[in-house]
Every structure is written in structure tokens, then in C-alpha cells.
Amino acid sequence: MRSLLRRCANCGAYTLSKERCPRCGGPVRVPHPPKYSPEDKYQKYRILQKLATGQLPVREDTREKILKDLTT
Ligand SMILES: [Zn+2]
């Protein structure tokens, strides 16, 4: 379950407000980072995006193999 609790990035106060810290008006954020999951649903899309934008330095035949693996 997603936490309702937010923490002020400014003063560190915990709050249920999603907008602003009630104490100092600073920005709030979810206090814990998203959990790492070994079944990363979005990994495939990140790899595909990197391949598509040329951020993944691989040989052309490797690129084609990965694309084929991920899109089938
Ligand atoms: Zn604050």
C-alpha cells in the first residue's frame, strides 16, 4: 500500500498534506523511495528507450537481438 505520509523536504516534519508543509510551507515528498523489485516491470521499457535513443552502446547485432527478445 502506498503511504499517505509525506515529509517536508525543508524542515523534515511529517504531514498528511500532499501539497505543503503545514509548519513551514516547504515542499513535501514521500519519505521512502520506491522499493526495488527484482521483477521490474519497467526495466524492459527503459532498456528499449535506451536502445532507441542510442544511450546503450551495443553492437548492431546485439541491439537487434535485444529488441527481438524484448518485443516478442
Ligand atoms: Zn516544513
Contacts 24+ apart (CB under 8 A), 63-71: 70/44
pLDDT at 2: 62
**Ligand 1 centroid vs 32 CA: distance in angstroms?**
17
For residue 6, the model assigns a pLDDT of: 92
Per-residue pLDDT reduced to its tens digit, 23-59: 999 999 988 766 667 677 778 888 888 888 888 888 8
Separation between Cα atoms, residue 5 and residue 8, nearest integer Å: 10
pLDDT of residue 8: 94
**pLDDT, mean of residues 8-20:** 92
Rounded distance from Cα 30 to ligand 1 centre (Å): 13
CA of 18 from ligand 1 middle (Å) equals 12
pLDDT exceeds cutoff 60 at 1: no
